[in-house]
Amino acid sequence: MALLDIKNLVVEFQTAAGMFRAVDGVSLHVDEREVLAIVGESGSGKSVSMLAVMGLLPWTAKVTADRMSFNGRDLLKLSPAERRKIVGKDMSMIFQEPMASLNPCFTVGFQIEEVLRFHMGMDGAQRRERAIELLRQVGIPEPAERLNSFPHQMSGGQCQRVMIAIAIACNPKLLIADEPTTALDVTIQKQILDLLVSLQAKYGMGLIMITHNMGVVAETADRVIVQYKGRKMEEADVLSLFESPKSNYTRALLSALPENAVGDRLPTVSDMLFEPAPSGAAA
């Protein structure tokens, strides 16, 4: 049975100009030990659908779905208190801007231990020991000393490592990474991607990778979903997506990569004849 199973997810926002549909009938599933990548440009609803799963959307959002179950539990029927017990424990998320998503007022040690206190009920000594172990796992040198550092004393790559440590603190079954490397340099990006994939393999987590970078998809994913304007354009395993993309949009996206440039001009998405394939064609 799938770890996360979503059927026909719709997310709408209340705006001054009426309802705006950000996610329009997306279905997806993730199994244990699987890396799923969701690709799309900004505004394609890729982050919003995952925030809906986590229950982190503001009250102006209206979330409906035929089915939304995680690990056998129906997320739509959970009370907020019950959901808080799952989010951050069995299902956790890494955000795009590591500098902005850590609290600047507390040490990283405090922020890691906070999760352990809330979800695992460990005492102080156990928490400290586990926090040191986590920092070591994500590859931060001198972990015991770094527990007392504040976020501004660390680099962007190190902050992202701390975010990953917080996310995996309670051995989650599903990890959602929302553009985890967009704000980072290529050399640091490589390190973070390698870390995520090795942790995923080691603990058998399901991993959802949200990105707009086709290179990141090619380097990490098992299966890929391409989204455009809130709709699913294509779903395929990574090799067949790159070898023989089915929807025109995917083809346009791949040909817009600078390394695939033929001649002087890059083909842009709007240049290509655009015909959306029926949503969920490959599901």
| Residue from the set 120, 188, 277, 281 that interacts with other proteins by CB under 8 A | 188
275 binds other proteins (CB under 8 A): no
77 binds other proteins (CB under 8 A): no
| Residue from the set 238, 262, 278, 280 that interacts with other proteins by CB under 8 A | 238
Sign of CA dihedral 167, 168, 169, 171: positive
Q: Least separation, in Å, of the C-beta of 123 and other proteins?
A: 37
| DSSP single-letter state for residue 77 | G
Phi, psi for residue 100 in degrees, rounded to 5 = -85, -20
Residue 21's closest CA among 50, 5, 44, 54?
A: 44
**Binders of other proteins among 37-76, rule CB under 8 A?**
41-42
189 binds other proteins (CB under 8 A): yes
253 binds other proteins (CB under 8 A): yes
Question: The tokens of 271 are what?
Answer: 């240049």
Question: The tokens of 184 are what?
Answer: 């980072």
Cβ proximity to other proteins: between 41 and 66 the closer is: 41
259 binds other proteins (CB under 8 A): yes
> What SS3 class is residue 247?
coil
| Residue from the set 66, 106, 185, 274 that interacts with other proteins by CB under 8 A | 185
**Binders of other proteins among 93-132, rule CB under 8 A?**
none
| Residue from the set 18, 123, 152, 270 that interacts with other proteins by CB under 8 A | 270
CA 28 to centroid of chain Cα atoms: 14
Residue 134 and residue 112 in contact, taking contact as beta carbons nearer than 8 Å: yes
Q: Least separation, in Å, of the C-beta of 214 and other proteins?
A: 5
CB pairs under 8 A, 24+ apart, for 78-87?
80/55, 83/55, 85/119, 87/54, 87/55, 87/56
246 binds other proteins (CB under 8 A): no
Residue 156's closest CA among 177, 180, 184?
A: 184
Sign of CA dihedral 258, 263, 269, 272: negative
Query: Where does this chain touch other proteins (CB under 8 A) — which range of 129-137, 139-147, 161-169, 259-267?
Result: 259-267
15 binds other proteins (CB under 8 A): no
225 binds other proteins (CB under 8 A): no
**Binders of other proteins among 142-181, rule CB under 8 A?**
156
Q: In angstroms, rounded to a whole number, what is the distance separating the alpha carbons of residues 46 and 192?
A: 21
Query: Where does this chain touch other proteins (CB under 8 A) — which range of 21-29, 132-140, 159-167, 186-194?
Result: 186-194
186 binds other proteins (CB under 8 A): yes
Q: Least separation, in Å, of the C-beta of 159 and other proteins?
A: 13
> What is the DSSP annotation of 183-208?
TS-HHHHHHHHHHHHHHHHHHT-EEE
Q: In angstroms, rounded to a whole number, what is the distance separating the alpha carbons of residues 108 and 105?
A: 10
**Using CB under 8 A as the criterion, which residues of the chain lie in contact with other proteins when the complex forms?**
41-42, 156, 185-190, 193, 201, 212-219, 238-239, 242-243, 252-254, 256-259, 261, 264-270
